[in-house]
Structure 1
């Protein structure tokens, strides 16, 4: 089985690559920077310098692939949804040109809304486009990454987190390593076909109040969280250098899933994964603080 993996240095991809290697697979890694792949990993993979937003490059890199793990790369321009559309065009072109039989796509809780969820709308468009391809597709609807707290490291140090979400509204939180495990199983399994949605919800739903409490207990110092207005959060994004459309897209991922949103997939044994936030904080956040 020839498996292609995009964003292999990402939060999920770096775990997924090693899992596939341990399973005896020699994955094809599509990356803009092959030189950044650790030497110990590079000797077990096929590296192809590829920009995931360039269809011709993706088609060339995935020639002969049976399965592809597709991740839309993070938006980089002043028009984030346009970036997602370019990535969508690339994966569709590759699937059709190379007759790739199966795709596992890293999507997000909220993609089922289809419109009105900021940057997640880009993932929705990719889901729809892949569903229209002649390939078997699994969409991984992932919860809120633990690793998003890494972007808040300075706020954690100062002891104050801010969000536009209600502080006592529970949502799914998940470790990227757990997503990689679900992805690896889907890539290696021949027991599914057609269009399939697989939610990845982490071990439990958590509120921001609970997250602050866990951080406080694990770090040994108080970490509070406060809710701020949408306008104030957007202004912070702009001050950080985000273009207006990017600020709106990032903010929309929270505001679009805030009011009366109910995930399409209920939490179940199928969607629940094991890694606890506490253990992730000890292993990955604390060493960086």
Structure 2
């Protein structure tokens, strides 16, 4: 039995689809099971509730061979530690109680060098917490997702611009969430691994935001530019959108670390190279979203 958390999220839903395509036995934890497609509900066991809840994860992890662990975003959390470490405490207790064999979690790059990297530092601490249970654990160590560009669909469509506080000239790895899901599903299905390790998922190339703007322009057939925003303006935007001060600072700290090269600390290898190029992702994902 494989347990999938956050099954309606971008990554979680794709992990779930891949596991079901392999005819795996799957149990999901969902706050709102009605958000799952009807054809999916017919094929999975459902435990309703939050995977931060002791009773929920106790029921879900009973008899589980492996777990896909993804902490959902909590923009109003009182601290980054609360968002990641406190959220994961119940799962750690259930992992030990039910002797779960393998866990695959979503994390970030930067182990050993992250310093004060906000959300990334909290996710790395979460990895250590989960591994401390003694479970065999693989932390998917990711750079920024290509799919984050989808947050800018309206501004790309209406104004031909997208934004970040990261330098437009800095070339960094980036990966597609569908490739993350493929790596996660393979680890969940093929459990011939032991111990605790990071699994970098780096995509096939390093690209800058200015590179992305050029590629997006070519794919959409219209000019699109990248605009770097000041750190203070970026944080003010997060606060204005309702994010708590602690979480806004955590996101900003992560962006500062990325601007200082955090995501370049892991060399790309054949094992960490995933297939989707940014241009391909734009053709197959971004362009339909913009034209919708």
Category of TM-score, reference length = shorter chain = over 0.9
Q: C-alpha displacement at 1:281, in angstroms?
A: 1.9
Q: Distance in 1 between matches of 2:263 and 2:40?
A: 40
Equivalent pair of 2:77/2:83 in contact (CA under 8 Å): no
Cα deviation for residue 182 of structure 1 reads: 0.5
Q: Distance in 1 between matches of 2:171 and 2:254?
A: 15
Cα distance in 2 for residues equivalent to 1:4 and 1:260: 34
CA distance in 2, matches of 1:125, 1:210: 33
Measured after TM superposition, the shift of residue 54 of structure 1 is 1.3
Q: Secondary structure at the match of 2:259?
A: coil
5-14 or 228-237, larger mean C-alpha shift: 228-237
Whole-angstrom distance in 2 between the partners of 1:120 and 1:50: 26
More displaced 10-residue stretch of structure 1: 174-183 or 259-268: 259-268
Q: 1:37/1:14 Cα in 2 relative to 1: closer, same or farther (>3 Å)?
A: same
- Counting only pairs closer than 5 Å after superposition, residues 1-289 of structure 1 correspond to structure 2 as 2-81=1-80, 82-110=82-110, 112-113=112-113, 115-157=115-157, 158-261=159-262, 263-289=264-290
* Alignment check: 8 A CA contact 2:172 2:263 kept: no
Please report how far the alpha carbon of residue 111 of structure 1 lies from its aligned counterpart in structure 2 after TM superposition: 5.1
1:212 Cα offset (Å)? 0.6
SS of 1:72's equivalent in the other structure is coil
**1:70/1:262 CA distance change after superposition, 3 Å:** closer
User: 1:226 offset after TM fit, Å?
Assistant: 2.2
Deviations 1:137-189 (A, max 9, x none): 11110121111111111221211222211211111111111011101111111
1:112 and 1:264 in contact (8 A); partners too: no
Instruction: Indicate the SS of the match to 1:12.
Output: helix
C-alpha spacing 1:111/1:28, structure 2 compared with 1 (3 Å) = farther
State the TM-score, normalizing by the size of structure 2.
Answer: 0.93
Deviations along 1:40-80, whole A, 9 cap, x unmatched? 11111111112022123112211110111101111142424
Q: Deviation of residue 240 (structure 1)?
A: 2.5
Q: Distance in 1 between matches of 2:110 and 2:147?
A: 18
Q: CA deviation at 1:115?
A: 4.0
What CA distance in whole angstroms lies between the structure 2 residues aligned with 1:57 and 1:261?
35
Structure 1 vs Structure 2 CA RMSD: 1.6
Change in CA separation of 1:160 and 1:41 when aligned onto 2, cut-off 3 Å: same
On the 8 A contact 2:143/2:263 being kept in 1, the answer is no
Tell me, yes or no, if the aligned pair for 2:209 and 2:226 is still in contact at 8 Å: yes
Instruction: Report the CA distance between 1:98 and its aligned residue.
Output: 0.9
Cα distance in 1, alignment partners of residues 77 and 66 from structure 2: 32
**TM-score of the superposed pair, with normalisation by structure 1:** 0.94
What SS does structure 2 have at the residue aligned with 1:150?
Answer: helix
Q: Whole-Å Cα distance in 1 between the matches of residues 133 and 265 of structure 2?
A: 22
Query: Contact 1:51/1:57 (CA < 8 Å) preserved in 2?
Result: yes
In the alignment, structure 2 segments of 5+ residues that lack a partner are none
For 2:161 and 2:148, the matched residues in 1 are separated by 15
For 1:192 and 1:263, the matched residues in 2 are separated by 26
Q: Could you list the per-position Cα deviations for residues 227-268 of structure 1 after superposition, in whole angstroms to 9, with x for gaps in the alignment?
A: 222112112222223222222122222112222536453101
108-117 or 15-24, which moves further after superposition? 108-117
